[in-house]
């Protein structure tokens, strides 16, 4: 079920934090994906490793850390006790990209979509930071929610994801 109104805006148009106190605690999970497109030369350096360390490992840790700090970055997000965060990064040579996928889960009253997308964002920015010396033209993009489950709206899966 999708709402027909913005939940973080009250009747007068003021921003508000959603009251989740009356919601049922359920198991919640969200999966997000994004990509960092770069030159083939830069991608090869990522594959080989760099002087700054293993780019994919550092980005994985940054993604996990980002998910844990989501409420500090997104003003109206509730701080959540995360049960798990998994961040996977893989090199996709045909698109000359690093593909990032994050899964966040909790047992709570509100979803973890923002945590999964923040994990992808933090990991992507970390890849950019570690590779920018050889390719300042990298493009971070297509950060999107692939799936969410739990809560009143149930299970949702993106159809025809790019």
List the catalytic residues: 129
Give the integer Cα–Cα distance in Å for 2 and 75: 22
* Burial class of residue 147, CB neighbours in 10 A (0-12, 13-18, 19+): middle
Angstrom distance (rounded) from CA 50 to CA 48: 7
Cα separation, 60 vs 39, whole angstroms:
21
Tell how strand 97-108 and strand 26-37 pair up. antiparallel
């Amino acid at each position: 079920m999708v709402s027909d109104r913005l939940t973080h805006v009250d009747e007068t148009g003021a921003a508000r934090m959603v009251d989740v106190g009356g919601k049922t605690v359920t198991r919640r999970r969200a999966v997000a994906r994004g990509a960092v497109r770069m030159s083939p030369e830069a991608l090869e350096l990522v594959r080989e490793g760099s002087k700054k360390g293993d780019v994919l490992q550092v980005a994985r840790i940054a993604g996990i850390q980002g998910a844990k700090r989501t409420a500090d970055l997104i003003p109206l997000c509730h701080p959540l006790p995360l049960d798990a965060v998994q961040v996977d990064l893989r090199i996709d040579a045909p698109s000359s990209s690093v593909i990032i996928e994050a899964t966040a889960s909790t047992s709570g009253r509100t979803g973890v979509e923002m945590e999964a997308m923040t994990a992808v964002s933090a990991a992507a920015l970390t890849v950019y930071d570690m590779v920018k010396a050889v390719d300042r033209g990298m493009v971070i993009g297509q950060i999107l929610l692939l799936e969410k489950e739990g809560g009143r709206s149930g299970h949702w899966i993106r159809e025809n994801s790019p």
